[in-house]
């Protein structure tokens, strides 16, 4: 049922099954001999009084010196990358580098910085904060809840790069209230990003920021699963649908269609997995630009779009942008092409 890449399980094999020399059984992560569909969250949820899940991340006698919470690494990031290192476990940081051999152009600076771009709500300038790592820098648990507590509502997305058309619905373990947030955000969208990047939300009194749809601009802001598709592409009407798993939602025409009145784009329409969107037909997505993974991973990236997940952790575009430069702006502002 589960296939694992061996480098991601060095910790499991060495500390939990030192003599077996084989990948761990389902019970090692999922905590039951026969995990059900409701118990497929790995070590991050579904705990029982007889659980085996705790031992996947916490070890009483083998934890490193100087570490925290009996984790297998001296840092939170190191612990997460026991699995999420790009070799298995739905890789997070290191995916681009490990798969393509090139370092990503931009990323959230885990264990490196405590700087929040646009974190000052009054000026829009950067701010600093004390985060959860031992050094006070940003780390994985500032945004994610490893035990699956108080997380955002599950949403459909294209985070899992699979060949089949499987619909992936998950909370991504995103906290409703990340570190530095002053209020809870229950649904993933601009307001979730703005809980840290407070000066980036429209209506904050800051000039020079692109307006985004949020609670500041409307009582019913678009969220990740509620972004309008483009009329005339695969449908005869402008409809509200899921942003992920296709390229429709990344193009928001100017002027707006009726269903878009009163709404701005959301953060994720510009800052997302790097891909090509709206370059063939102005303000539309051509069928050649549809997101579709049609082949398993190979050393060369697939022709249409990246096969594996990168957002919001790392991207091959500057500032985690969907596309670079004018290609991004002209997805929505196509009429500006006539200007000198």
The pLDDT of residue 17: 42
Percentage with pLDDT > 70 across the chain: 74
pLDDT at 11 over 60: no
Tell me the pLDDT band of 4, cut-offs 50, 70 and 90: very low
Mean pLDDT, rounded, for 256-272: 85
The pLDDT of residue 236 is 54
Q: Give me the percent of the chain exceeding a pLDDT of 90.
A: 22
Most distant pair of Cα atoms in the chain: their distance? 70
Question: pTM value?
Answer: 0.84
State mean pLDDT over 145-173: 79
pLDDT digits (tens, 9 = 90+) for 72-109: 888 899 888 888 876 666 667 777 777 777 778 888 88
């Amino acid at each position: 049922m589960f296939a694992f890449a061996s480098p991601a399980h060095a910790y499991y094999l060495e500390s939990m099954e030192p003599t077996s020399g084989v990948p761990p059984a389902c019970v090692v992560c999922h905590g039951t001999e026969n995990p059900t569909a409701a118990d497929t969250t790995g070590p991050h949820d579904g705990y029982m009084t007889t659980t085996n899940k705790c031992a996947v991340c916490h070890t009483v006698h083998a934890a490193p010196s100087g570490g925290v919470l009996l984790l297998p690494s001296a840092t939170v990031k190191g612990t997460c990358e026991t699995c999420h290192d790009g070799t298995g476990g739905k890789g997070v940081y290191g995916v681009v580098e490990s798969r393509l051999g090139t370092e990503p152009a931009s990323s959230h600076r885990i264990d490196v910085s405590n700087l929040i771009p646009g974190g000052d709500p009054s000026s829009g300038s950067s701010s600093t904060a004390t985060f959860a790592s031992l050094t006070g820098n940003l780390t994985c648990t500032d945004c994610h809840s490893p035990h699956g507590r108080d997380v955002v509502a599950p949403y459909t997305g294209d985070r899992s790069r699979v060949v089949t058309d499987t619909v992936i619905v998950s909370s991504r373990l995103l906290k409703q209230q990340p570190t530095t947030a002053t209020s809870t955000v229950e649904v993933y969208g601009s307001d979730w990003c703005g809980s840290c990047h407070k000066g980036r939300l429209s209506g904050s009194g800051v000039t020079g920021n692109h307006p985004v749809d949020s609670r500041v601009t409307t009582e019913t802001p678009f969220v990740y699963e509620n972004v309008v598709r483009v009329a005339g592409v695969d449908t005869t009407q402008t409809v509200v649908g899921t942003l992920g798993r296709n390229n429709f939602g990344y193009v928001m025409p100017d002027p707006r269609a009726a269903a878009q009145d009163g709404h701005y784009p959301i953060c994720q329409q510009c800052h997302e997995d790097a891909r090509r969107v709206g370059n063939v037909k102005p303000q539309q997505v051509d069928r050649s630009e549809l997101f579709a993974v049609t082949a398993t991973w190979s050393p060369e990236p697939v022709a249409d779009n990246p096969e594996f997940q990168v957002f919001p952790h790392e991207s091959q575009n500057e500032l985690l942008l969907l596309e670079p430069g004018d290609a991004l702006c002209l997805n929505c502002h196509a009429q500006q092409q006539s200007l000198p």
